[in-house]
Amino acid sequence: MMDQKERHRRHLAQLKARMESDPDFKERFLKRRRANETARRRANPEKAKAKGKQGRERYRERMAADPELAEEQRKKARERAKDRRQNDLEFKERTNRLTRENRKENPEKFSKWHSDYKTSHPMAARDAVRKWKYGITTEEWEAMFDAQGRVCKICGINHPRSPRGWHTDHVLDENGKVVVRGILCAHCNTSLKSYLTPALLRKMANYVEARGLVESAS
């Protein structure tokens, strides 16, 4: 004769199998369960609050005891949030607004978090900056650098001439979109930052050539 735990286990297995084979049933079941949970929380908010607190504490203890599981859960949560932000504009706008408000209210907290993240995840921080600032991934940046021979696109030098590394030269097109023109050394990129026009650059080149000045190799 089956005990109560065995019957419960079989019931859950049957429920899981039906949900996997019948999407409509799964949607109805989850909708009904959410409605029941909402009704229970409203009927007894103090009990629901205490139960939620206990569940969070058990979850934290479980994650602290198993770092690999914790990292796996964080990865899944990031993927779910990313998918929802891409498919739900209202959710994206709401989370962006809440983040801005929280950052404004706790600037020191966000500054410390950002600094700690850059220290502990330097490669991920670099990739995020490239995507946000230039609109390209690290793979696209590396492919562009390979295409120009992994040297400065202007002077052809094979080192960046700066402890900060290579510089990404970019401009805005007529629509305000960032366009990456090439990867430059620090000296060439600094020169372009003066916003010189091509005509003025040609005049400067003529000025240097007319006086027989030799370009410095430094």
- C-alpha distance across the termini of the chain, in Å: 88
Q: Give the CA distances from residue 206 to residues 197, 202, 210, 213, in Å, rounded to whole numbers and listed in that order.
A: 14, 6, 6, 11
Res. 64: pLDDT tops 60: yes
- Distance between CA atoms of 175 and 177, rounded to whole angstroms? 6
- Distance between CA atoms of 141 and 98, rounded to whole angstroms? 32
pLDDT at 6: 84
User: Phi and psi of 93, rounded to 5°?
Assistant: -65, -40
For 125, the token pair is 């921080």
pLDDT at 212: 64
User: To the nearest whole number, what is the mean pLDDT of the chain?
Assistant: 87
Res. 183: pLDDT tops 90: yes
Average pLDDT score over residue span 196-217: 71
Which H or E run includes 143?
A: helix 138-147
pLDDT digits (tens, 9 = 90+) for 136-170: 999 999 999 999 999 999 999 999 999 989 999 99
Class of 120-203 in CATH: alpha beta
pLDDT at 87: 87
pLDDT at 147: 95
N residues, the chain: 218
pLDDT digits (tens, 9 = 90+) for 45-57: 898 889 889 999 9
Res. 218: pLDDT tops 70: no
pLDDT digits (tens, 9 = 90+) for 88-144: 888 889 988 998 999 899 999 889 988 888 888 888 888 888 998 999 999 999 999
Percent of the chain at pLDDT exceeding 90: 32
Are 160 and 185 spatial neighbours (Cβ–Cβ below 8 Å)?
A: yes
Q: Where are the domains of the chain?
A: 120-203
Res. 217: pLDDT tops 60: no
Q: How confident is the model at residue 2 (pLDDT cuts 50, 70, 90)?
A: low
Q: Give the CA distances from residue 31 to residues 25, 41, 49, in Å, rounded to whole numbers and listed in that order.
A: 10, 16, 21
For 58, the token pair is 């058990």
pLDDT digits (tens, 9 = 90+) for 29-40: 989 998 998 898
* Residue that is written with structure tokens 């809440």 in the block: 98
- Distance between CA atoms of 97 and 91, rounded to whole angstroms? 10
Q: Give the CA distances from residue 16 to residues 6, 26, 76, 196, in Å, rounded to whole numbers and listed in that order.
A: 15, 9, 20, 66
